[in-house]
Structure 1
């Protein structure tokens, strides 16, 4: 284990994050995400890991794109513009804390989200029992 790194940041995950180029995306998915839709390499963090814990670990070392109007996209299964899931608020707060700035976030419905997720460099899967959720995180320059 390395000093001051989350134990969730395995060698495989750190290697995948390091290999990513600026502008590429990482997909972070919960247990309810359709397995058959994942077309990128998958790193499973464990059944007891929450989306929030995974986001905190990843965003502690993963810079978000500052030139993108919304470097975080979340899967919207509610179709209600005023209804943002608690996990989306939490991930947005974690990102803003990690970046030391307000990080804009946008939502997409299932079909356009899946289309973008297919082009991700890597998918990180958590096993939390939270409602189905998924995020795209666009890498920026460190």
Structure 2
């Protein structure tokens, strides 16, 4: 255990979060997402796991350390519901609330069509599969920067 770091963030996830650079994407995936096959095509090349937690719990742990990119409008994305792209189910509402708290402001997620989401995921740095069993618990977060401390 480490002080100040959410215990859901295991060594593999912490390594990936630290190794990622500005503009790299990470994917938070539900249990139905093809995490293994997609993750093999990412920069990391293997799936990471934060088991037995919801997407919101995983997002809260990740966003406690992970800065979102402030230079782009698509720094946070959610997989759209097939045939209902504007519907935002409870799992996505929960993650949106976590995101807004972490950012200290409203940062609306963009909707990403299912197959476009798969393509974005293949280009990501890593895929983190959660224990989320609700449909459409899949999210993409683009890493931002941590500014230098003021002198």
Tell me whether the two structures share a fold, i.e. TM-score over 0.5. Answer: yes
1:125 aligns with 2:129: yes
- Kept after mapping to 1: 8 A contact 2:30/2:132: yes
Aligned ranges 1:1-142 → 2 under 5 Å: 1-35=1-35, 36-38=37-39, 39-40=41-42, 41-46=46-51, 48-142=52-146
TM-score (norm 2): 0.87
TM-score (norm 1): 0.92
Deviates more, 1:24-33 or 1:2-11: 2-11
Tell me the distance in 1 between the aligned counterparts of 2:18 and 2:85: 35
Unaligned runs of 5+ in 1: none
How large is the Cα RMSD of the aligned pairs?
Answer: 1.4
How far did residue 82 of structure 1 move?
3.8
- Kept after mapping to 1: 8 A contact 2:68/2:142: yes
- Kept after mapping to 1: 8 A contact 2:92/2:136: no
Tell me the distance in 2 between the aligned counterparts of 1:111 and 1:129: 20
Deviates more, 1:75-84 or 1:62-71: 75-84
Q: Against the structure 1 CA distance between its residues 132 and 32, is the aligned structure 2 distance closer, same or farther, given a 3 Å change threshold?
A: farther
Tell me the distance in 2 between the aligned counterparts of 1:108 and 1:70: 9
May I ask how many residue pairs the two structures share in their alignment? 141
